[in-house]
């Protein structure tokens, strides 16, 4: 079950007003660069990076962004090893791929901060995809071994390789924390290590296949601080339908990743059962397949930091990058992509599809505190396939519109789906109501059933259908 207690966790006389803030605008400068970088051009690239404060990499969201064509010509001229720490983005990736295994390992050991910056500010997924496919398989394996935290989080690297790298990164991180604890620390540092160790062990637990035996993969991991993690259920490389599940407030990796992965599996299993019923395999056509992404790729807010959209903007950038990574990997064989988002996560998702950087085939939001867009027509969602649900009796959050327009309003132009309970015409069973802010993804509810149908492009079977007028 997803957990978001925005409306109920505060002692403020108006907890919803206390919980949400306002959007601020930013600006960005784009500098174009050639696809082929000589040694001199690499040095020029590094100079630009330093001038930009280290944010001059393709695909970043900083004030200066260096863009390059997707067609990458791989460099063959090495720069001195001592100069690599000054490089960023594609330049650094290209040079790392020229190192032998021992030099890769030595660089990773000597310059963890450089690799952390690379992982947090990578090139665009299409650039990474072109670079990765152009280096030998042996070099790919060496990079994944020497720098698992980089390879595991690079959008554009195949998911199977990212899963292997991130599992190595996870094990290395757990071992490193245990070594620190054995060496002895102060009380505060020891408490932090204990918390981080528990968080990473929760990630490890969440990777265990559930009852459906759908494979799980770890395609994103940041073991520092509050942490982030992205886990797939099913094969996103081949699935016909891929859904991103985006949580709201109080959804930390430490407390929620195991439940969140289970919720994603529930959705994937339900959707596959629906497809088996609706589109059974024939001699010439197999039943379509499903994968769901348990996307905890941002730090969701608590009471101390929910008053602004800062974390929503971070989530906007991260979710956009994640979906762009899927599109880069899938190439001409694109799946039907949906986003299923709750509460604060819905506002982050709305920001992403409003910005133009993210385009999806369906968007289903519940318990939403508002949209910066004035209407669904401003969103990059195929055919206006924007859906919204509200548990009207016990969820006050959607009525506030504190982040802008209210998606539940008729003027917004979204499709409304039922949450109050109904008989399922497919099974004849009773679907229960989503009573409060945290009930939308409870198994057996009308709300979850409708969200699942939206994710497999079966809007014709959604219950409580009502185009807002």
Please provide the DSSP assignment of 182-224 as one string.
Answer: HH---HHHHHHHHHHHHHHHHHHHHTS--TT---EEEEEEE-S
Through-space distance between the first and last CA atoms of the chain, rounded to whole angstroms: 32
Residue owning tokens 């990574």: 325
Tell me, yes or no, whether 219 and 116 share the same domain.
no
Hey, is 73 helix, strand or coil? Answer: coil
Reference 116, options 95, 92, 80, 81; nearest CA is 92
- Final residue of a structural domain among 95, 129, 157: 157
CA distance 360 to 398: 22
User: For residue 173, is it within any domain?
Assistant: no
* pLDDT value for 304: 76
Write down the residue that tokens 């998702």 correspond to.
349
Q: Which residues pair with 338 in a beta bridge?
A: 243, 362
Question: 126 with 149, same domain?
Answer: yes
Q: Is residue 286 part of a domain?
A: yes
Residues 140, 232: one domain?
A: no
- Residue 231 within a domain: yes
Tokens describing residue 131: 């670079």
Q: Which residues form the domain of 123?
A: 34-67+70-157
Which pLDDT belongs to residue 459?
A: 93
The reply to whether 245 and 350 lie within a common domain is yes
Task: Render pLDDT for 226-266 as a digit per residue (tens, 0 to 9).
Answer: 999 999 999 999 999 999 999 998 899 999 999 999 999 99
Domain assignment present for residue 362? The answer is yes
Distances (CA, A) of 148 to 141, 376, 407: 10, 40, 41
Tell me which of 157, 188, 222 is where a domain ends. 157
Tell me: do 460 and 370 sit in the same domain.
yes
Strands 241-246, 466-467: pairing kind: unpaired
Which H or E run contains 434? none
Q: Looking at residue 341, which CATH number applies to its domain?
A: 3.40.50.1820
CA contacts within 13 A on the Cβ side of 325: 26
Judge whether 451 and 389 are in contact, CB under 8 Å. yes
For residue 420, being part of any structural domain is answered with yes
What's the rounded Cα separation, in Å, for the pair 464 and 447? Answer: 10
- Tell me: do 292 and 367 sit in the same domain: yes
Do both 83 and 52 map to the same domain?
yes
- pLDDT tens track of the chain, all 469 residues? 554 444 443 333 333 333 333 333 333 333 334 444 444 444 444 444 444 444 334 334 333 334 444 455 556 688 999 999 999 999 999 999 999 999 999 999 999 999 999 998 999 999 999 999 999 999 999 999 999 999 999 999 999 999 999 999 999 999 999 999 999 888 899 999 999 999 999 999 999 976 667 899 999 999 999 999 999 999 999 999 999 999 998 899 999 999 999 999 999 999 999 999 999 999 999 999 999 999 999 999 887 777 789 999 999 999 999 999 999 999 999 999 999 999 999 999 999 999 888 999 999 999 999 999 999 999 999 999 999 999 977 899 998 888 999 999 999 999 999 999 999 999 999 999 999 999 999 999 999 999 999 999 999 999 986 644 3
pLDDT at 392: 76
Confirm whether 10 is domain-assigned. no
DSSP 4-66: --TTTS--SSSHHHHH---------EEEE--SS--HHHHHHHHHHHHHTTS--STT--SSEEE
> Tell me: the pLDDT tens digits for 338-371?
999 999 999 999 999 998 889 999 999 999 999 9
Does 163 fall in a domain? no
**Is the CB of residue 372 less than 8 Å from the CB of residue 351?**
yes
Same-domain pairing of 377 and 245: yes
The residue among 157, 189, 223 that closes a domain is 157
Do 113 and 231 have their domain in common? no
237 and 273 share a domain?
yes
Residue given tokens 């409306």 in the structure block: 7
Domain count within the chain: 2
Residue 91 lies in a domain: yes
Which has the closest alpha carbon to 365: 352, 143, 31, 356?
352
Is residue 336 domain-shared with residue 416, that is, in the same domain?
yes
- Whether 276 and 355 map to the same domain: the answer is yes
The tokens describing 137, both together, are 């398989």
Instruction: Output helix, strand, coil percentages for the chain, rounded to the nearest 5.
Output: 45, 15, 40
């Amino acid at each position: 079950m997803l957990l978001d207690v925005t409306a109920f966790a505060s002692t403020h006389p108006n907890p919803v007003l206390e919980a949400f803030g306002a959007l601020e605008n930013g600006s960005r400068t784009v500098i174009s660069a050639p696809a082929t970088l000589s040694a001199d051009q690499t040095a020029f690239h590094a100079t630009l990076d330093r001038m930009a404060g280290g944010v001059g990499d393709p695909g970043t969201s900083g004030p200066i962004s260096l863009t390059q064509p997707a067609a990458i010509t791989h460099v063959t001229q090495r720069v001195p090893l001592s100069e690599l720490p000054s490089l960023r983005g594609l330049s650094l990736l290209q040079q790392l791929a020229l190192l032998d295994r021992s030099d890769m390992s030595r660089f990773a050991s000597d310059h963890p901060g450089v690799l952390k910056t690379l992982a947090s500010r990578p090139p665009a997924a299409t650039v990474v995809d072109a670079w990765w496919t152009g280096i030998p398989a042996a070099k790919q394996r060496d990079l994944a071994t020497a720098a698992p935290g980089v390879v595991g989080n690079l959008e554009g690297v195949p998911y199977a390789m990212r899963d292997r790298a991130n599992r190595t990164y996870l094990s290395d991180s757990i071992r490193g924390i245990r070594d620190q604890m054995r060496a002895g620390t102060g009380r505060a540092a020891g408490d932090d290590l204990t918390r981080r160790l528990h968080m990473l062990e929760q990630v490890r637990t969440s990777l265990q296949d559930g009852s459906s035996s759908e494979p799980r993969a770890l395609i994103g991991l940041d073991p520092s601080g509050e942490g982030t993690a992205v886990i797939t259920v099913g094969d996103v490389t081949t699935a016909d339908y891929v859904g991103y599940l985006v949580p709201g407030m109080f959804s930390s990796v430490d407390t929620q990743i195991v439940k969140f992965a289970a919720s994603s599996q529930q959705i994937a299993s339900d959707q596959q059962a629906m497809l088996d019923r609706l589109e059974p395999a024939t001699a010439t056509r197999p039943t379509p397949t499903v994968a769901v992404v348990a996307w905890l790729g941002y730090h969701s807010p608590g009471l101390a930091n929910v008053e602004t959209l800062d974390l929503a903007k971070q989530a906007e950038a991260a979710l956009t990058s994640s979906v762009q990574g899927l599109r880069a990997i899938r190439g001409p064989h694109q799946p039907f992509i949906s986003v299923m988002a709750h509460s604060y996560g819905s506002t982050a998702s709305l920001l992403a599809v409003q910005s133009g950087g993210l385009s999806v085939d369906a968007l289903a939001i519940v318990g939403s505190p508002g949209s910066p867009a004035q209407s669904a027509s401003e969103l990059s969602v195929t055919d206006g396939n924007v859906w919204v649900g509200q548990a009207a009796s016990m969820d006050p959050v959607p009525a506030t519109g504190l982040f802008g327009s209210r998606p539940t309003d008729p003027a917004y132009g979204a499709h409304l789906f039922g949450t109050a309970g109904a008989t399922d015409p497919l099974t004849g069973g009773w679907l229960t109501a989503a009573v409060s802010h945290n009930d939308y993804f409870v198994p057996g509810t009308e709300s979850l059933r409708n969200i699942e149908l939206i994710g497999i492009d079966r809007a014709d079977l959604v219950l409580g259908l009502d185009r807002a007028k």
